[in-house]
Amino acid sequence: MKITYDWLKDHLKISAKEEKLLEKLTDIGLEVESIENLFEGLDLFKIAKIVKTEKHPNADRLKVCEVDVGNKKIKKVVCGAANAREGLLTVYAPPGAIIPKNKTKLVVAKIRDVTSYGMLCSESELNLSNESEGIIELTSSKYAKNIGKSYFSKPSSNLIDLSITPNRPDCLGVRGIARDLSAAGFGNLKTDKEKKIKSNKKQTLKVKIIKEKSQGCLSFGSCLITNVKNTESPQWLKDKLISIGQKPISAIVDITNYVMIDINRPLHAYDADKIEKGIIVRNTKSGEEFTALDNKNYKLNEGMCVISDNKGVLGLGGIIGGTRSGTELDTKNVLLESAYFDPRSIRKTAKKLNIDTDAKFRFERGIDQLSIENGLNKAAFLIKEICGGEISKIDIQKIGSYKKKILKFDPNIFERITGFKISVKEMINILEKLGFETKIEKKIIKLLVPSWRPDIVQEIDIVEELVRISGYRKIKIENPIKERSKNTLNPTQKLFHFLQRAVASKGYLETITWSFTDTKYNDHFKESNKEIKIVNPISSELGVLRNSIFSNLVMYMSKNLDRGIKDLSIFEIGPTFYGSRPGEQNTVVCGLSAGKKSRLSWVEKERNVDVFDIKRDVVQTLVEAGYNSEKFYLDDASPNYFHPGKSGRIFLNKGKDKVAAYFGEIHPNIIKTLDIKTDSLVGFEIFLDNLRLPKKPIKDQKTKYFVSEFQKSERDFAFIVDKNVNVQELVSVISGIDKNLISNIKVFDVYEGENIPKNQKSIAISVTIQSLEKTLTDNDLEKINNLIIETVENKTGAKIRS
């Protein structure tokens, strides 16, 4: 919303300087976006006189003019205007001036071999009107005395651009802004001396609003002004519009624009002689079209609100008029429209047709429903004053009535919400200046909400108005307490962030992706879960909620491998979804690793990352989070997107918990189908919702490492067991025999075949035995060896291989 301080003074008695105004506007929530000096550069445009004209030697339609620009200086200017003649007073723009219409900077230039020093300007080039036929003709005697002086008079105020929030449509008019300033003590609001039309002449053009479903027009006011003489606007009206960056067109159009900006009442003027047998306000039929005032042809959808006559569409209600009924300089009879349109209807139509106008901008936010008559009165009297004519009675057709809004406000609620107090008397004073009618009943303020405030619907809105006008600066500033008596994160949140750091510490790079994904990837990882489609996706490639984070990780792993990155480990922690209802989701840590280990290393031979690498990362992460690895239970069951022979799952405690994690190689068929360029791709999933919180606080988890200075001994054992016995069972049994002596257990061979009974296998295990207190004797070692064999055989049914 663009205003000037001078225009505000039409509605506000005030003597303060403009700087104070800018401060106050921001204080009451009307943010000042920018301030512009409209006179900047316009001082270069001078009143000048053509003293001599000659035909251009090399062009039939050009003239070479000698122009008196003041101070006894004569400039040669090449001009193509037909009305350029000796003795004409006009406007001269020197080299260096910027033409307002096209922002072109003038330079000394040769035109058909004749040097031109500047140009003579038309009204169109100076944004004074649409008149482009010929250069400006200054006829007043005052101009003859001021040759060489600036054509534009310096305005006394700058152009102020305000950012008006969508809930404040009343401030899209200068009077609404003035009302707010007055309520805040910045000047006094002038009384609106509204003249009312008193006429015995009937409005002869019949207006009918069709009552139908989704009718966008609720009220249509009109009056007929006959025998007008449309003309150029008077200077005061031109100056008003130019001061806010608008271009004057003709008196009738300028008046409607002036009223819209002044009191936020959009109007439309029709040439009444072009309307066939009255106005019909209706919804469109499929296939209708019309040419609008922006000279574009629009094909209309069914159900749009239009103003029409017997011939067809005249304009889109509340958005834009049509060329067929537009006023021109020869217009004799004018039908003035002041209507109320439903904001939703306006917004829907304008969006579909991609139209943005000043009227649409106001109607879609909500216009004062009771301003119809006021707008007609103000505009009709101005037209009569400037263009003459006779005004008819006002005719208002309605299909609905305005319902007054009454609120009850408890003054005590104000202090509870804002933290400071103002008196009831001050509250009433502010509210009445804002246009509310007030009445106190049993310490409760009963309020009649003004019709121009559609945003006021509940008590909290009244609090906002009072604190806005009385001053946000009165709200006390309290610094936050620096010492925290309690932890800000609960145990679950701590575990979330700990796992995030634990995985990152193992060389994984964290990714943050959308919670939705491409169905092409998601199909490989959803298993039996249903696909959850998004009704309005941001793109066709992100059309479903992810059932697994693998959906996105695989996608971005593939993109990075295609860019030439060879070895990469990435992870994400976030939600996966198994249903469309709130809460039907799980929090998962998901990691993916591709490439080789020890690439180009001279210490260790390079190899592909494998299932044991990913298993180690998962187990170590869970141990670091405080879970006891001795109670872990592992088996080889896993989802179908893992390799069936190179994957597994982990339980924190056998038979008592849900699955804590899955790990393994991604299924080769998926790698092939998605064309992922890698020799090895392994991944894991840790399910936070299935993890019991550790007994100790996570910050207290510490791993103690002891290094023995005594001799260690390594013993190898080979056990024959049933095929269905997991290696982990043997490892768990051996590790629990004597923790003070058994320091390391390593499986180095699993064998099936010759000399091994059918349905059995041989597992070879290396056990490191070392004491922290002494060097073990042969007798000590023999005891522990026998104990290992005996315990494994008794607990697992295994037999030592001879």
| Inter-residue contact 372 to 341 (CB < 8 Å) | no
pLDDT in the model for residue 486: 67
Show the domains of the chain with their CATH numbers.
2-38+156-189 (3.30.56.10), 42-144 (2.40.50.140), 207-398 (3.50.40.10), 406-471 (3.30.56.10), 491-700 (3.30.930.10), 713-800 (3.30.70.380)
| Inter-residue contact 275 to 309 (CB < 8 Å) | yes
pLDDT over threshold 70, residue 752:
yes
pLDDT in the model for residue 93: 92
Residue spans of alpha helices (H) in 54-170: 141-144
pLDDT in tens, 86-140: 999 999 999 999 988 888 999 999 999 999 999 999 988 888 877 888 999 988 8
pLDDT in the model for residue 173: 94
pLDDT over threshold 90, residue 360:
yes
For the ranges 479-488, 502-511, 738-747, the maximum mean pLDDT occurs at 502-511
pLDDT in tens, 410-432: 999 999 999 899 999 999 999 99
CA dist list (Å): 473 to 176, 185, 469: 23, 15, 10
pLDDT over threshold 60, residue 497:
yes
pLDDT in the model for residue 697: 58
pLDDT in the model for residue 100: 85
Residue 741: which pLDDT band, with cuts at 50, 70 and 90?
A: confident
- Angle, helices 251-263 vs 235-243, to 10°: value is 50
Write the burial class of residue 196 (CB in 10 Å: 0-12 exposed, 13-18 middle, 19+ buried).
exposed
CA distance 39 to 779: 106
pLDDT in the model for residue 695: 66
| Inter-residue contact 510 to 571 (CB < 8 Å) | yes
Kindly state the tokens that stand for 789. 């064999």
Sheet holding 532-533, edge to edge: 516-517, 544-545, 532-533
Q: What is the DSSP string of 40-53?
A: TTGGG-EEEEEEEE
pLDDT over threshold 90, residue 333:
yes
Residue spans of alpha helices (H) in 286-422: 343-353, 358-363, 372-387, 412-418
Q: Where are the beta strands (DSSP E) in 578-641?
A: 585-594, 596-597, 607-608, 633-635
Stretch 765-794: mean pLDDT = 89
H helix or E strand, kind and range, residue 691: none
Mean pLDDT rounded to a whole number for the chain: 89
pLDDT over threshold 70, residue 603:
no
pLDDT in the model for residue 449: 95
- 31, β-bridge pairs: 163
Write the burial class of residue 471 (CB in 10 Å: 0-12 exposed, 13-18 middle, 19+ buried).
middle
pLDDT in the model for residue 482: 72
DSSP SS3 for 3: strand
What is the pairing mode between strands 334-341 and 217-226? antiparallel
Stretch 440-467: mean pLDDT = 93
pLDDT in the model for residue 725: 83
pLDDT in the model for residue 797: 86
How many beta carbons lie within 10 A of that of residue 508, not counting itself? 20
Query: Residue 484 — φ and ψ, nearest 5°?
Result: -95, 125
CA distance 787 to 632: 23
Kindly state the tokens that stand for 104. 């072109």
Stretch 368-376: mean pLDDT = 93
pLDDT in tens, 713-730: 888 999 998 888 888 888
Stretch 588-612: mean pLDDT = 86
| Inter-residue contact 90 to 105 (CB < 8 Å) | no
Going by C-alpha positions, the residue among 122, 102, 119, 100 that lies closest to residue 111 is 119
CA distance 63 to 69: 18
Residue spans of alpha helices (H) in 388-475: 412-418, 424-433, 459-470
The angle subtended at Cα 605 by Cα 604 and Cα 611, nearest 5°, is 95
pLDDT over threshold 80, residue 348:
yes
Look up residue 757 and give its DSSP letter.
-
- Angle, helices 778-796 vs 727-735, to 10°: value is 130
Look up residue 158 and give its DSSP letter.
-
pLDDT in the model for residue 699: 54
Asked which of 35-44, 101-110, 489-498 is least confident by mean pLDDT, the reply is 35-44
CA distance 427 to 19: 27
pLDDT in tens, 256-311: 999 999 999 999 999 999 999 899 999 998 889 999 998 899 999 988 999 999 99
How many Cα atoms occupy the beta-carbon half-sphere of 5 within 13 Å? 22
Residue spans of alpha helices (H) in 61-199: 141-144, 174-183
Asked which of 485-489, 720-724, 745-749 is least confident by mean pLDDT, the reply is 485-489
How many Cα atoms occupy the beta-carbon half-sphere of 150 within 13 Å? 11
Long-range contacts of 698-707 (CB under 8 A, 24+ apart): 698/491, 698/494, 698/495, 698/498, 698/625, 698/626, 699/494, 701/624, 701/625, 701/626, 703/623, 703/624, 706/772
Residue 198: which pLDDT band, with cuts at 50, 70 and 90?
A: confident
Distance, first Cα to last Cα, the chain: 95
Residue with token string 């697992």? 796
Sheet holding 63-68, edge to edge: 74-79, 63-68, 46-55, 89-93, 119-120
pLDDT over threshold 90, residue 565:
no
Stretch 739-765: mean pLDDT = 86
CA dist list (Å): 107 to 2, 59, 99, 682: 32, 21, 11, 69
Stretch 238-254: mean pLDDT = 89
What percent of the chain is modeled with pLDDT above 70? 97
pLDDT in the model for residue 262: 94
pLDDT in tens, 631-679: 888 888 999 999 998 999 999 987 767 899 999 999 999 999 999 999 8
CA distance 252 to 331: 10
Residue 343: which pLDDT band, with cuts at 50, 70 and 90?
A: very high
CA distance 318 to 297: 17
CA 190 to chain centre: 39
